[in-house]
Amino acid sequence: MYTLNNKKILIAGARGMVGSALARTLTDQGKGELLLPNRQQLDLADPITVTHWMKEHRPDVVFLAAAKVGGIAANSNFPVDFLLDNLAIEINLIKAAYELGVEKLIFLGSSCIYPKHAEQPIKETSLLTGALEPTNEWYAIAKIAGIKLCQAYRTQYGCDFISAMPCNLFGKNDNFDLETSHVLPALMRKFHDAKTNKADKVWVWGSGTPLREFLYVDELANALVFVAENYSELEHINIGAEKEISIKELAELIAQIVGFKGEICFDSSKPDGTLRKMMDCSKLSKLGWRPQLSLQAAISETYKWYCDNHAE
Ligand code: GDP
């Protein structure tokens, strides 16, 4: 439907986990000319800077992968940052994309946009049918506003702006800070440190029973290129792994990959968050995209990257 070949492509958030995976994938596939500004070159929170930068560089395509992101603790502790930073980034870039005649914009959100008690697996049509999970509603509200802004530009001005909602992600360039990270990188680091320090116990937050769906960021990047070229509709589209796993099983899998042989304990004073958020990805699979890599293989690749880049 649309080709990224020979296009000028801006990846907003190019240094982040999703943006850097997109840059690798687009480079590997030989797609277009990439514009990869860092935060000093393009401060997305500043509307004047964004408009000037867009006027100067005139991208044909924008992947909006920049966001203030974080795990269950960060979301609860920094509600203003999660709401305000994400709204500012979306408004500035989506508005400038319209004004500068961007041909295609792909806005990224996450599965936390859906109601806490949405019917599972969660279809795209569940959006705004119920109350959100309180531990990440700040981020979710900002992302819902971003989806609606893309829809508004499509409806009012005919812009080809689409939104993609991935499940929980992990991979190279993830955040491994224990206070602000998501569960998968946090557990990888905890097990690695415990192995290195010969500790006999690792504490996992919550009860271990919540179910989550994890997609490797390189697979997401591949899916995003696919939707950019093959999807052009008002409604957002889910991108998931099509498999779920409990936090307990995830902990056991990571411990095995890392080589930690001690005890795995559960800290019930920490929140579980939503108990299940499995997405229905039939819309995407009908278009012809499905994930390829097993969770085990993807976690092993990520752990290798972690050891080469972070671990002491
Ligand atoms: P969520 O999917 O938005 O809830 O984000 P997280 O990745 O932060 O948390 C997913 C689940 O993993 C929650 O039930 C957490 O309580 C649980 N979890 C277990 N250990 C950890 C940890 O060390 N860090 C984080 N962030 N979550 C953990």
CA of 247 to the centre of ligand 1 (A): 8
Which residue's CA lies nearest to atom 13 of ligand 1?
272
- Indicate the burial class of 194 (C-beta count within 10 angstroms; 0-12, 13-18, 19 or more): buried
pLDDT score at 211: 97
CB of 212 within 6 A of ligand 1: the answer is yes
pLDDT score at 266: 98
139 assigned to active site? yes
pLDDT score at 88: 98
Helices 17-28 and 217-230: crossing angle, nearest 10°? 60
CB of 204 within 6 A of ligand 1: the answer is yes
pLDDT score at 135: 86
Q: Are 240 and 215 in contact (CB under 8 A)?
A: yes
Residues of the chain with pLDDT under 50: none
Residue 254: CB atoms within 10 A of its CB come to: 28
Q: Are 242 and 291 in contact (CB under 8 A)?
A: yes
Report how far residue 51's alpha carbon sits from residue 54's, in angstroms, rounded to the nearest whole number: 5
Atom of ligand 1 lying closest to residue 110 CA? 3
CB of 270 within 6 A of ligand 1: the answer is yes
CA of 185 to the centre of ligand 1 (A): 10
CB of 71 within 6 A of ligand 1: the answer is yes
What is the three-class DSSP state of 301?
Answer: helix
Beta bridge partners of residue 266, listed in sequence order? 204
CB of 171 within 6 A of ligand 1: the answer is no
Q: What is the tens place of the pLDDT at every residue in 53-68?
A: 999 999 999 999 999 9
Q: Are 194 and 260 in contact (CB under 8 A)?
A: yes
Q: Are 170 and 216 in contact (CB under 8 A)?
A: yes
pLDDT score at 312: 64
**Where would I find the H helices in the chain?**
17-28, 47-57, 72-77, 79-99, 137-157, 183-196, 217-230, 247-258, 282-287, 295-309
CB of 273 within 6 A of ligand 1: the answer is yes
Report how far residue 138's alpha carbon sits from residue 150's, in angstroms, rounded to the nearest whole number: 19
Q: What is the tens place of the pLDDT at every residue in 195-208?
A: 999 999 999 999 99
What is the three-class DSSP state of 230?
Answer: helix
Q: Which of 177, 159, 192, 179 is nearest to 260 (CA)?
A: 192
CA of 256 to the centre of ligand 1 (A): 19
DSSP state string for 111-124: GGGS-TT--SSBPG
Catalytic residue among 98, 139, 216, 231: 139
